[in-house]
Amino acid sequence: MKVTPRFSFQKIKHLQQWLPPEAILHHGDHEQAKLTVFCPRLYFQGAWNTWNDPELFRRLPLTFDEAHKTIEQSIPSRIQKKYKWAINTNSSLPYGFVFLKRKKQFKKGRTLISYFRSRYGRLLQVTARTIDSMLLQLWPQTMGQLAVPQIWQAVHRFLSDTPLDVHLHAVNDDLVGFFNPVPQDRLLDAVNSLILEWKHRHPDTV
């Protein structure tokens, strides 16, 4: 039996031709399989509210060229020379998306920062994979390394194996906007702890 997708590329292009040119086709937060036609005023107001939320972001008084220069100088030159293959000198600035939240009447949303084709995009990707590999080797019991069904199984095993006289407390870290509200020093402390543990177990490696 041949299954025809509900939305094809041709159908989307036809829809774009039929809609007013200022209409915006996008999906909301957690609605990847649902296409929404946004009023441009509603969409851009929601994006503006999100990016200008002082609890998540602060505006830097930099021009486009100054931002490029700041990013270029943010990593020591010796590291840039050593990992030259991972540095994109013909780069663009990182950019962001906003997935507006239906539960907030699309007045605010979840942000996603893309480092695709940015100066350190490849270096960040390699660093993330390195950290992930170190986590797997040092702390294989960490539930975050598992698939979602396995995480739930591990949580159930942990709770069932916990003695009755042990009182557990749940810490609700609502990771809105892909870790935006997590304090930076907390993330740096976690990475520092990982590196110190790695050096302790592997003293002969750099």
Work out the burial of residue 75: count CB atoms within 10 Å of its CB; fewer than 13 is exposed, 13-18 middle, 19 or more buried: middle
Q: Is the pLDDT of residue 183 over 90?
A: no
Please give the C-alpha separations between residue 60 and each of 70, 92, 98, 194, in angstroms, as whole numbers: 11, 17, 19, 31
Contact 59, 53 (CB under 8 A): no
pLDDT band, very low/low/confident/very high, at 4 (cuts 50, 70, 90) = low
Non-local CB neighbours of 36 within 8 Å, separated by 6+ positions: 25, 26, 27, 28
pLDDT digits (tens, 9 = 90+) for 80-127: 999 999 999 998 899 998 999 999 999 999 888 889 899 999 999 999
Looking at residue 177, what is its pLDDT? 47
What's the rounded Cα separation, in Å, for the pair 109 and 97?
9
Q: Is the pLDDT of residue 52 over 60?
A: yes
Instruction: Work out whether the CA dihedral 171, 177, 182, 188 comes out positive or negative.
Output: positive
Q: Is the pLDDT of residue 1 over 70?
A: no
Q: Is the pLDDT of residue 204 over 60?
A: yes
Which residues lie across from 97 on neighbouring strands? 112
Stretch 60-67: mean pLDDT: 92
Q: Which helix (H) or strand (E) holds 99?
A: strand 95-100
Looking at residue 83, what is its pLDDT? 94
Stretch 23-43: mean pLDDT: 90
DSSP for residue 5: P
